[in-house]
Chains A and B, each alone.
Chain A
Amino acid sequence: MANDTTADGVVLAADGLPLKASLTRAMRKSRIRALLLVTPLFVFVLFSFLIPIFDMSMRSVDNWHVGTLMPETTKALENWDGKALPEEPVFAALMKDLKAGAISREIGKVGTRLNYEKSGLRSMITSSARKSKKVKEGPYKPIVLKMHKRWKELETWTVIKRNTSKFTIGYYLNAVDMKYDNKTNDIVMQPEDRQIYSTLFLRTFAISLAITLICVVLAYPISYLLATLPTRYSNLLMIFVLLPFWTSLLVRTTAWIAMLQSQGVLNDLFVFFGFVDDANRLQLIHNLTGTIIAMTHILLPFMVLPLYSVMKTIPPSYMRAALSLGANPVTAFVRVYMPQTLAGIGAGSILVFILSIGYYITPALVGGTDGTLISNQIAYHMQTSLNWGLAGALGVLLLFSVLALYMIYNKIVGIDNMRLG
């Protein structure tokens, strides 16, 4: 219809306005409605999830302490070459900052921050700040050097100078068992006995993988049964699968402690039946075994449900067709049934794996020393050591490794093939 189109090809509506504009106007109402429906959840997620995550990830690189609390020293150190102890102006600036910090009582934060890089620097800063109140006039260099022996070390000044910058990768180095060599300012590996995080990361991945595999092995047959049983039986069975879901996580974990501890139900039974003698009760808890047993139990429903929902959609006629075509039951199962459940295995695996990688409470309660995961270490730095920068760095590393795995999974299996229910 030529008269409905302008010379430059814009299609017009009946009232002569461009059709696109009319369409936009007509759609505006429904778009506003959709927006309003989404708003409460979006605001909630923003404040409870996105902003905290952003904040924690910023903390992992944030290095405000020295620059903000020791502004004079920061400025004075700008041109220091790092080859010998600084000169008088730097010490004068330092004295000014120490005095200001002692009055505002903020100087301790600098001490804490510097202590992450080199232990002992906290006491140096705090004691010097305390003593600085009595100092009247310069020259300050000899006074400061007398305040604490660490001031005489070049290393101390290297650390301070390095941390005058607003951002640092120090926490990340720490999180991957590396550090700055304070003498040369190079990045080096931590000494062997202090390399804990990479071991912990590897252990977390290994345990998560093990739990995922065990879950697949345990969940597959039960899901198959659930999917093939008549509804009245499968509903009952489904309740048993879901029952743990409705019980508090803490209750289940403590129940496992009662079950697995050396004077617990399981060991009592083993002793009773003579599998082990009373003196050599099995250590099933506060170690790796305990973590794996309890977490597998807790995460099993997350594997059963996607598997079940996928299996439920596979009509029995596929297996029958395979049999009628001459395949024996095993071949039919492996070649016809199993490939169709891959989407469910993938969905369940990725769910269980991601959940177990970040699992905290169960390993904390039953894990002992060799059964704790990276999340327990993050919690330790959040709650006990209060090194939030390191906690943030570990958290960000965990987040990105999960995202990386997710992308690999997407490449190999395709996320569209995943079915959660």
Chain B
Amino acid sequence: MSDASEPLVRFESVQKSYDGEILVVKDFNLDVAKGEFVTMLGPSGSGKTTCLMMLAGFEPATHGEIYLEGVPINNVPPHKRGIGMVFQNYALFPHMTVAENLAFPLEVRGMGKSEISEKVNRALDMVRLGGFGDRRPAQLSGGQQQRVAVSRALVFEPSLVLMDEPLGALDKNLREEMQYEIKHIHENLQVTLVYVTHDQSEALTMSDRIAVFDDGIVQQLASPSDLYEKPDNAFVAGFIGENNRLYGEVKEVTGDYCQVELEGGGGMVKALNVNTGGVGSRTTLSLRPERSTIGVAKEQSTNSLEAKVEELIYLGDHIRSRVSLSGNNEFIVKVPNSHGHVHLKEGEITQIGWEADDCRALDA
């Protein structure tokens, strides 16, 4: 979708501080192409919402410039930016009906009555709330309020829509349903969406690209699959999905690979050299639980370590096995509940093996 030569939104070395002492956003650079769905993901306090608020115009950037369609907008007040926004608690005006809420952005733009009612009806139909125009927001369920909030942010046809943890207040089932709904709306309307969440599965489900925030900087900006399979650093590896980590020292680097001596006395392992400080530096090895196999013979796998089974949890489709390996007793292996899978017992000693390509040597 990033066919447009000029990005719709551009953050250029943006910094933000509230108190003049601590930088909440340290150096933020991001280009969002037209029609793209970009998610800012990170733990609370990582600066992601602040970036969204700066884009919406509710917080001034302390340093740096934000461009919208090539125009710097630092000095444009929020109501002139023409950006649709969905708030965490929907911010539906409680004293107006649903239809009045939707009509509000159109009225302040001086649109005619008939045009307004036509657009409002179309917007309500889009989110399957056709007969709900006369209700007050308080008379709607959480999911319905959510859909009204989304359609209100879209009804005046902004080119950019921001969403600030819009699904945070919904229960799990509804949240998943709404994820698909928002994704479909995005696809159908070809609108550019910048989405903020702390929920990684939400980000992985919906986004074209995800910016992972921590400590005021973007740790990695990549597609969902790249984030999961090729994390750049230990934080991203730990934040996105489940992750086994082993610590060690880099002993030798050959091409894309390196040899690492594990700290827990597990011996040498071969890993993909992604983000280490070179020979002699400490490193974190990151390994997805589903990429290691249990009970393989030493010679069948590049890396193979002896492990003791600590705990087995039956989860239906797979058996979650916690083993201790090289001094790490939180090492997780997922054993698929397939025909003829290995049967383990707690306390048993077994072999865990993995390929060098699945094991990424990252920063310590």
A binding-site residues for B, Cβ under 8 Å: 315, 317-318, 320-329, 331-332, 335-336, 339-340
User: In the complex, A324→B163 CA distance in Å?
Assistant: 12
Pair B87/A326 contact, Cβ less than 8 Å: no
What chain A residues lie within 8 Å of B77 (beta carbons)?
323, 329
B1 close to chain A: CB less than 8 A: no
Question: Given known contacts A323-B78, A325-B108, A329-B79, what 14 new A-B pairs fall within 8 Å (CB)?
Answer: A317-B91, A318-B91, A321-B87, A324-B56, A324-B79, A324-B81, A324-B153, A324-B162, A325-B79, A325-B152, A326-B109, A326-B156, A327-B104, A327-B105
User: In the complex, A176→B89 CA distance in Å?
Assistant: 56
Pair A321/B79 contact, Cβ less than 8 Å: no
Shortest distance between the CB of A278 and any CB in chain B (Å): 51
B159 close to chain A: CB less than 8 A: no
User: In the complex, A368→B89 CA distance in Å?
Assistant: 55
Pair B156/A320 contact, Cβ less than 8 Å: no
Shortest distance between the CB of B104 and any CB in chain A (Å): 6
B180 close to chain A: CB less than 8 A: no
Q: A325-B104, A326-B105, A331-B108 are in contact. Are A315 and B82 (CB under 8 A)?
A: no
Pair B84/A324 contact, Cβ less than 8 Å: yes
What chain A residues lie within 8 Å of B117 (beta carbons)?
none
What chain B residues lie within 8 Å of A331 (beta carbons)?
108
The 10 A-B residue pairs whose C-beta atoms are closest, nearest first, are A325-B105, A321-B91, A324-B85, A317-B91, A323-B78, A327-B108, A339-B95, A317-B87, A323-B79, A326-B108
What chain B residues lie within 8 Å of A326 (beta carbons)?
79-80, 82, 105, 108-109, 156
Pair A321/B85 contact, Cβ less than 8 Å: yes
Shortest distance between the CB of A348 and any CB in chain B (Å): 18
Chain A contact residues: helix, strand, loop or mixed: helix
Selected contact of B79 from candidates A317, A318, A327, A340, CB within 8 Å: A327
B293 close to chain A: CB less than 8 A: no
The residue in chain A whose Cβ has the minimal distance to the Cβ of B164 is A317
What chain A residues lie within 8 Å of B241 (beta carbons)?
none
What chain A residues lie within 8 Å of B91 (beta carbons)?
315, 317-318, 320-321
The residue in chain A whose Cβ has the minimal distance to the Cβ of B104 is A325
Pair A320/B104 contact, Cβ less than 8 Å: no
Q: Kindly name the residue among A323, A325, A329, A340 whose own CB sees the greatest number of chain B CB atoms within 10 A.
A: A325
What chain A residues lie within 8 Å of B81 (beta carbons)?
324
B262 close to chain A: CB less than 8 A: no
What chain B residues lie within 8 Å of A323 (beta carbons)?
57-58, 77-79
The residue in chain A whose Cβ has the minimal distance to the Cβ of B85 is A324
Q: A323-B79, A326-B79 are in contact. Are A318 and B56 (CB under 8 A)?
A: no
Shortest distance between the CB of B158 and any CB in chain A (Å): 9
User: In the complex, A335→B104 CA distance in Å?
Assistant: 9
A-facing residues in B269-326 (Cβ within 8 Å) = none
B93 close to chain A: CB less than 8 A: yes
The residue in chain B whose Cβ has the minimal distance to the Cβ of A316 is B58
17 contacts between A and B (CB under 8 A): A315-B91, A317-B88, A320-B56, A320-B85, A320-B87, A320-B91, A321-B85, A321-B91, A324-B81, A324-B83, A324-B84, A325-B108, A326-B105, A328-B79, A329-B77, A331-B108, A332-B79
What chain A residues lie within 8 Å of B85 (beta carbons)?
320-321, 324
Shortest distance between the CB of A401 and any CB in chain B (Å): 31
The residue in chain A whose Cβ has the minimal distance to the Cβ of B102 is A325
B264 close to chain A: CB less than 8 A: no
The residue in chain B whose Cβ has the minimal distance to the Cβ of A339 is B95
Shortest distance between the CB of B2 and any CB in chain A (Å): 25
User: In the complex, A322→B156 CA distance in Å?
Assistant: 13
Shortest distance between the CB of A289 and any CB in chain B (Å): 38
What chain A residues lie within 8 Å of B89 (beta carbons)?
315, 317
User: In the complex, A331→B110 CA distance in Å?
Assistant: 12
The residue in chain B whose Cβ has the minimal distance to the Cβ of A327 is B108
User: In the complex, A332→B94 CA distance in Å?
Assistant: 14
A-facing residues in B87-131 (Cβ within 8 Å) = 87-89, 91, 93-95, 104-105, 108-109
Selected contact of B93 from candidates A318, A328, A329, CB within 8 Å: A318
What chain A residues lie within 8 Å of B104 (beta carbons)?
322, 325, 327, 335-336
Shortest distance between the CB of A60 and any CB in chain B (Å): 44
A-facing residues in B15-61 (Cβ within 8 Å) = 56-58
The residue in chain B whose Cβ has the minimal distance to the Cβ of A325 is B105
Shortest distance between the CB of B225 and any CB in chain A (Å): 32
Q: Kindly name the residue among A315, A326, A328, A331 whose own CB sees the greatest number of chain B CB atoms within 10 A.
A: A326
User: In the complex, A325→B78 CA distance in Å?
Assistant: 9
Shortest distance between the CB of A173 and any CB in chain B (Å): 47
Shortest distance between the CB of A381 and any CB in chain B (Å): 47
What chain A residues lie within 8 Å of B87 (beta carbons)?
317, 320-321
Shortest distance between the CB of A244 and any CB in chain B (Å): 33
